[in-house]
Amino acid sequence: MPIDPYAPYDDNNIFARILRGELPCKKVYEDDFALAFHDINPQAPVHILVIPKARYVSWDDFTIHATDGEISGFIRAVGAVAREHGLVEPGYRLLANVGQHGHQEVPHLHVHLFGGRQFYAMIPQ
């Protein structure tokens, strides 16, 4: 079920538990601001989730409440993950689902990073 984008942060969401080390993940990157790991149900040859370390429900929550340092640190981390996986030259796709219409399921902000193949229509008709 899509999340309520206005719900308070749930400290027991799956990504909060991954951040605390209570659940495993296939980590590919970590710095002060972000953690990145392979999606458990990949939709492309490369499908990585990049999440901020701080407690933000969604892109909306993040862009209202995060500090400038958290925002720049997180966005730079997304770029670093793409570069480290050799995705820049062939190209890649970023996606952040927000709320019900965006069909966001996990209530901790995450950016999907897709690569490793050609993508076509952005939204299936």
Which positions are annotated as active-site residues?
Answer: 110
For ligand 5GP, the closer CB: 66 or 113: 113
Report the distance separating Cα 28 and Cα 9, nearest Å.
25
DSSP codes of every residue in 67-119: -HHHHHHHHHHHHHHHHHTT-TTT--EEE---HHHHT--SSS--EEEEESS--
* Residue entry with tokens 């999606």: 39
Asked whether position 25 contacts ligand 5GP by CB under 6 A, the answer is yes
Q: What binding mask, one character per residue, do residues 62-101 give for ligand 5GP by CB under 6 A, x or -?
A: -----------------------------------x----
Asked whether position 60 contacts ligand 5GP by CB under 6 A, the answer is no
- Footprint of ligand 5GP on this chain (CB under 6 A)? 14, 25, 37-41, 49, 97, 103-106
